């Protein structure tokens, strides 16, 4: 049996693509291995979003090419977003790669993995000159790469928004939703396999169903998924600020299984910068939005991301962003420095900001947020929270860890567990009650009760 190994980079949406490719290869009789050094076939599923991610992807391809030239594997395939951006350059510079498949060619993985196929004869299908149509569905085989109690479900692909810094629409194609029934069936099947937490992902989750003529599609989908017996939590990632409907917020407020958590990248708060980013709005409109969210869903945790150093960002713009963060007090914040991506409208903008200045602004913003995060965590001390138990802590074997419904996997803090009643040994995926005894900047510490 041939062994295939995957190196999956980038976001959860790309991880779902890797899981789908693994599922299709497994159906064809391949064995999926976590050890790249024992794989006959290696697949590097790349990210092409920003400089750091592109660099990481190229390094992973070169590492895989080294394994191939040493004879450790016989076939090397490169997939994902970086292929959509630099297919010809990669092909020319890394001849060790047997095949490149783009984000619209996921189904071709079994063809190009087959050593009998001369991939150099296969048609090159850059996304640019074709309508992207690829969407997996409930019948598509998947091998989950996440722990068995949690799974990402991609509800739509692509994006039609004009954000000036973003190359994703050119790598993923136009926005297209999966059928309602397909998402529900897939979630049902995952729940029957023991998945307790369903995490809905897309480039732009808020627009779910719009292209299928569904009004408030995300609200309806979330309501429907919240009725699934075996599911405990339904989480939505990547919403867009102009599309947060009252219907969606009402489902978050009313459905116990819809987690009180809103992931909504805002990118900035200054009218000037938001205009340059082609995102619109300003500090006042965003503060009204957050106030509406918190009014309709009491206790909700709001996560967002910002970019510092966008071309044209002045010291005043940054001070306005800092004041906004201080005033709103988000629960979770990620901050990126601007990445100058050729092929995006921002690349042609004047008034580029010195990367050192961008990094300094990022540090100031994160420093402010760490103060806010600690302050908020301190209000949790003494309370007992429902926690999804995950097992040994990633930091130390001396602790266990888990997450509350306001903590998403991999990007947010967690609950570190340092004690439990005699003889209690929860299994990963179990829900436990944890009394919080200590607050840290991003994590909480407590004991199972």
Stretch that binds ligand SF4, among 10-18, 155-163, 291-299, 403-411 (CB under 6 A): 155-163
Is the CB of 64 or the CB of 168 nearer to ligand SF4? 168
Q: Which is nearer to ligand SF4, 278 or 378 (CB)?
A: 278
Q: Are 83 and 101 in contact (CB under 8 A)?
A: yes
Coil, helix or strand at residue 401:
strand
| CB 191 to ligand SF4: min, Å | 28
Answer for which of 119, 203, 226, 404 binds ligand SF4 (CB under 6 A) is 203
Measured from the CB atom, the residue of 282 and 447 that comes closer to ligand SF4 is 282
Choose between 149 and 338: whose C-beta lies nearer to ligand SF4: 338
Q: Which of 159, 199, 266, 289 binds ligand SF4 (CB under 6 A)?
A: 159
Q: In the complex with ligand SF4, which residue's Cβ is closer, 50 or 76?
A: 50
Nearest distance from C-beta of residue 47 to ligand SF4, angstroms: 13
The DSSP code for 436 is: E
CB of 274 to ligand SF4, least distance (A): 12
Least distance CB 168 / ligand SF4 (angstroms): 4
Per-residue interface string for the shown chain with ligand SF4, residues 160-179, x marking contact by CB under 6 A? -x-x--x-xx----------
Residue 161 to residue 305: CA distance in whole angstroms: 17
The residue count for binding ligand SF4 (CB under 6 A) is 9
Q: Is position 204 an interface residue for ligand SF4 (rule: CB under 6 A)?
A: yes
The C-alpha atoms of residue 209 and residue 131 are separated, in whole angstroms, by 19
Using the contact rule CB under 6 A, the part of the chain among 94-102, 157-165, 335-343, 345-353 near ligand SF4 is 157-165
Tell me if 418 sits within 8 A of 435, measured CB to CB: no
Q: 147, 220, 140, 146: which is closest to 185 by C-alpha? A: 140
Q: Cβ-count burial of 294 within 10 angstroms (0-12 exposed, 13-18 middle, 19+ buried)?
A: middle
- Which CA distances in Å does 40 have to 37, 66, 67, 139, 145? 9, 14, 10, 27, 19
Query: Does the protein bind ligand SF4 through residue 219 (CB under 6 A)?
Result: no
Nearer to ligand SF4, 23 or 265 (CB): 265
Instruction: Name the minimum Å distance from CB 108 to ligand SF4.
Output: 24
Q: Give how far the C-alpha of residue 278 lies from the chain's centroid of Cα atoms, to the nearest Å.
A: 22
Maximum Cα interatomic distance, the chain, rounded to a whole number of Å: 65
Between residues 265 and 446, which has the closer beta carbon with respect to ligand SF4? 265
Question: How far does Cα 195 stand from its chain's mean position?
Answer: 18
What whole-number distance in Å separates Cα of residue 428 and Cα of residue 449? 17
Least distance to ligand SF4, CB of residue 242, Å = 10
Q: What are the DSSP calls for 307-341, one per residue?
A: EES-TT--HHHHHHHHHHHHHH--SEEEEEE----
Within a 13 Å sphere around the CA of 346, how many CA atoms are in the beta-carbon half?
Answer: 26
Nearer to ligand SF4, 19 or 157 (CB): 157
21 binds ligand SF4 (CB under 6 A): no
> Which residues of the chain form contacts with ligand SF4 (CB under 6 A)?
159, 161, 163, 166, 168-169, 203-204, 240
């Amino acid at each position: 049996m041939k062994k295939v190994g995957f190196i999956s980079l980038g976001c959860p949406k790309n991880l779902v693509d890797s899981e789908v490719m693994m599922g299709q290869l497994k159906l064809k009789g391949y064995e999926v291995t976590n050890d790249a050094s024992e794989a006959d076939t290696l697949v590097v599923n790349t990210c092409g979003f920003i400089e750091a991610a592109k660099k990481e992807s190229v390094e992973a391809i070169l590492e895989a090419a080294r394994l191939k030239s040493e004879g450790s594997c016989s076939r090397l395939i490169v997939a994902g977003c970086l292929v959509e951006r630099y297919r010809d350059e990669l092909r020319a510079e890394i001849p060790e790669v047997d095949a490149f498949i783009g984000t619209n060619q996921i189904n071709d993985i079994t063809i190009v993995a087959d050593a009998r196929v001369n991939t150099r004869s296969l048609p090159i299908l850059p996304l640019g000159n074709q309508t992207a149509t690829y969407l997996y569905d409930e019948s598509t085989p998947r091998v989950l790469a996440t722990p068995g109690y949690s799974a990402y479900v991609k509800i739509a692909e692509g994006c039609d928004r004009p954000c000036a810094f973003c190359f994703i629409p050119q790598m993923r194609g136009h926005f297209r939703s999966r059928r309602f029934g397909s998402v529900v069936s897939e979630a049902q099947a995952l729940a029957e396999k023991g998945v307790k937490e369903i995490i809905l992902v897309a480039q732009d989750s808020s627009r779910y169903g719009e292209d299928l003529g569904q009004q408030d599609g995300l609200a309806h989908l979330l309501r429907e998924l919240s009725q699934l017996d075996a599911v405990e939590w339904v989480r939505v990632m990547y919403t867009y600020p102009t599309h947060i409907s009252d219907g969606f917020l009402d489902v978050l407020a009313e459905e116990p299984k819809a987690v009180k958590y809103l992931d909504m990248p805002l990118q900035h708060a200054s009218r000037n910068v938001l205009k340059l980013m082609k995102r619109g709005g300003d500090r006042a409109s965003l503060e009204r939005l957050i106030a509406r969210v918190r009014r309709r869903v009491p206790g909700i945790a709001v996560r967002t991301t910002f970019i510092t150093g966008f071309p044209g960002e002045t010291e005043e713009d940054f001070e306005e962003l800092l004041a906004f963060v201080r005033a709103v007090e988000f629960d979770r914040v990620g901050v990126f420095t601007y990445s100058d991506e050729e092929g995006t409208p921002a690349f042609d903008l004047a008034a580029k900001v010195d990367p050192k200045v961008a990094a300094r602004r990022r540090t100031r913003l994160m420093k402010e947020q760490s103060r806010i995060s600690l302050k908020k965590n301190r209000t949790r001390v003494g309370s007992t929270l429902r926690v999804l138990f995950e097992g040994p802590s990633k930091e130390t074997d001396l602790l266990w860890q888990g997450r509350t419904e306001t903590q998403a996997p991999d990007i947010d803090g967690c609950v570190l567990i340092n004690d439990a009643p005699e003889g209690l040994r929860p299994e990963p995926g179990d829900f436990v009650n944890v009394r919080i005894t200590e607050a840290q900047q991003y994590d909480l510490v407590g004991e199972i009760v």
